């Protein structure tokens, strides 16, 4: 493995990576190996379901939030979830954690590393490695501005007259931000996402060493899954798109090789909110890059199917999915702390269909973020809305709203791969417009935080939307975890039974089979198929008829006996 790591570094840095730097790197790797005694799970199975949450999601006045969350998790969520994805829980200055001030510390109001270790006793953990950029309030950046030796190349200074028109832009914000250094000179620095998120210069070997130390620290602190945030932008070459460059792919291979050397079983997951063909490139050859990639096309395609009552595009896309090896799988989700990305629809749906979906959702209260295009135009980049409100018109009854919501999550849980569910979803949350007004940005619509007593009272209230959603989703997740046919690598077949009904058939190597039927319409559907000696798992009933009647937005999981 040492030779592989050295080869990957040489292929990117050549002679610029000096002998003493290589010696330091391998010394850091060996020290980390000695610190890690815990054995990680070596693969994934149907038991793996991830909860996405903030460390300060559940609060109680005067108390650290991580212990509060751990108690809440153990009371309400432990039976449903095998992993907890803690969104960035380090000191931060903006973007709800994604502008990291210090990678090596826990935000003091949330707790400390011991509190993370306490949660680790209840759940496997997924950490964010915010590798592309860090906070303008960080000590690293302050040392850069002070022009201290060793930090002069930590960030990317560019002549503002440089032609950067080819650079892919995820935001409608300036790419370069001017900063004044201690000698009063002004440098224009690369800021892909905001003027408080300064892109790191991975072309500088000392930056790579510093960031590998961050990765090693997270492995030492118990990360089972490592999410590489915004990783597609990590390497910059003016005159190119500055996304998905070969050096970026090589650095991900390097991160994986180091993780496998230090903590075998660690899963590296790439977060690249881009068209599907670019997203899947991060699997590499199936053995050398990310073990999982975010399945960004799934959330908007499920929305499109729901709003059009047409499953044909969803089925066609799903049936085309191919993994490069059994060492890879999908990281599936419907909702997250971010909006619902639209770029992953491009190349799958016509642009007019995408714009129609955006307009329809806006009419129902969703917000939209935009991006700048190289030709000077702008396009919708993401829809900001809770997934609950994205699926249903404002006028829907709670019964219809829950039916649509459960259907969508049953699709998620039926897909090949590892499913992840955002905490706002299992809490049955609605659009938080007050949060948007207070925070001043659209993504706050789906980032509400809760007082412990208030959220537990709401979840315990008989007949409330939150209680009903929680119990329906929790039961569905537990069912999924009990059946080998939902193993991430089990065979999956997708069929449009008719325009509005999708069938997903999951089959194990020893021919255990579960067939999912999903009615995406507001009308009953009769399905003429023979199901002898079968059981419908959700209702826990035997099937004896060859004709099945699906109510509007109903899902069935049918297991062969």
Catalytic residues: 229
As given in the structure block, the two tokens for residue 78 are 């432990």
Per DSSP (E only), the strands in 241-372 are 267-270, 292-294, 329-333, 340-341, 367-372
Q: How far apart are CA 140 and CA 136, in angstroms?
A: 9
Half-sphere exposure of 33 (CA within 13 A, CB side): 12
Place of tokens 């706050």: 444
Max CA separation in the chain (angstroms): 82
Pairing type for strands 133-135 and 50-53 reads: unpaired
Smallest Cα–Cα separation from 76: which of 367, 458, 387? 458
Q: How far apart are CA 342 and CA 320, in angstroms?
A: 19
If you write DSSP's letter for every residue of 403-419 in order, what string do you get? HHHHHHHHHHHHSSSEE
Contacts of residue 346, defined as CB under 8 A and 6 or more positions apart, other chains included, come to 275, 354
Sign of CA dihedral 541, 546, 551, 553: positive
If you write DSSP's letter for every residue of 22-37 in order, what string do you get? HHHHHHHHHHHHHH--
Helices 205-220 and 19-35 cross at an angle (nearest 10°) of 10
As given in the structure block, the two tokens for residue 534 are 């079968």
The answer to whether residues 368 and 350 touch, using CB atoms and an 8 Å cutoff, is: no
As given in the structure block, the two tokens for residue 276 are 């599907």
Contacts of residue 181, defined as CB under 8 A and 6 or more positions apart, other chains included, come to 144, 145, 146, 147, 187
Pairing type for strands 197-199 and 186-190 reads: unpaired
Q: Which residues pair with 370 in a beta bridge?
A: 380
b/e code 145-166 from CB counts within 10 Å (16+ = b): beeeeebeebbbbeeeeeebee
């Amino acid at each position: 493995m040492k030779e592989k790591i050295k080869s990957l570094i040489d292929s990117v840095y050549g002679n610029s990576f000096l002998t003493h730097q290589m010696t330091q790197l391998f010394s850091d790797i060996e020290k980390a190996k000695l610190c890690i005694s815990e054995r990680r799970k070596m693969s994934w199975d149907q038991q793996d379901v991830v909860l996405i949450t903030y460390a300060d999601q559940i609060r109680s006045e005067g108390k650290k939030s991580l212990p509060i969350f751990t108690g809440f998790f153990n009371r309400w969520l432990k039976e449903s979830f095998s992993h907890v994805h803690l969104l960035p829980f380090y000191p931060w200055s903006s973007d709800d954690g994604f502008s990291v001030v210090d990678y090596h510390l826990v935000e003091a109001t949330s707790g400390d590393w011991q509190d993370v270790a306490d949660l680790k006793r209840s759940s496997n953990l997924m950490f964010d490695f915010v590798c592309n950029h860090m906070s303008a309030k960080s000590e690293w950046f302050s040392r850069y501005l002070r022009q201290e030796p060793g930090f002069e190349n930590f960030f990317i200074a560019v002549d503002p007259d440089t032609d950067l028109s080819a650079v892919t832009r995820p935001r409608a914000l300036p790419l370069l931000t001017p900063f004044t250094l201690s000698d009063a000179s002004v440098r224009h620095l690369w800021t892909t996402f905001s003027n408080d998120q300064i892109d790191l210069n991975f072309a500088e070997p000392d930056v790579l060493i510093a960031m590998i130390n961050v990765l090693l620290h997270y492995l030492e602190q118990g990360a089972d899954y490592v999410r590489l945030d915004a990783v597609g932008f990590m390497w910059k070459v003016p005159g190119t798109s500055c996304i998905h460059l070969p050096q970026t792919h090589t650095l991900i291979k390097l991160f994986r090789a180091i993780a496998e050397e230090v903590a075998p079983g660690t899963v590296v997951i790439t977060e690249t909110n881009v068209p599907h063909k670019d997203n899947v490139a991060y699997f590499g050859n199936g053995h050398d890059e990310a073990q999982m990639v975010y399945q960004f096309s799934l959330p908007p395609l499920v929305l499109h199917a729901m709003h059009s009552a047409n499953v044909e595009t969803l089925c066609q896309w799903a049936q085309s999915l191919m993994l490069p090896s059994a060492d890879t799988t999908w990281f599936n989700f419907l909702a997250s702390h971010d909006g619902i990305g639209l770029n992953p629809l491009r190349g799958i749906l016509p642009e007019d269909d995408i714009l129609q979906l955006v307009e329809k959702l806006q009419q129902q209260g969703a917000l939209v973020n935009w991006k700048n295009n190289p030709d000077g135009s702008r396009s919708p980049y993401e829809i900001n809305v809770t997934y609950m409100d994205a699926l249903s018109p404002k006028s829907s009854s709670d019964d219809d709203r829950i039916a649509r919501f459960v259907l969508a999550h049953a699709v998620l849980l039926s897909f090949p791969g590892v499913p992840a569910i955002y905490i706002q979803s299992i809490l049955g949350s609605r659009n938080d417009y007050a949060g948007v007004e207070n925070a001043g940005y659209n993504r706050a619509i789906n980032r509400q935080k809760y007082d412990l007593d208030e959220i537990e009272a709401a979840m315990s209230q008989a007949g409330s939307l939150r209680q009903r959603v929680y119990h329906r989703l929790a039961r569905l997740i537990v069912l999924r975890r009990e059946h080998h046919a939902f193993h991430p690598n089990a065979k999956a077949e997708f069929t449009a039974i008719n325009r509005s009904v999708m069938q997903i058939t999951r089959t194990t190597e020893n021919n255990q089979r579960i067939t999912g039927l999903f009615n995406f319409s507001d009308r009953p559907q009769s399905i003429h198929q023979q199901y002898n000696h079968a059981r419908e798992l959700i209702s826990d009933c035997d099937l004896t008829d060859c004709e099945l009647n699906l109510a509007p937005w109903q899902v069935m999981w049918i297991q062969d006996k």
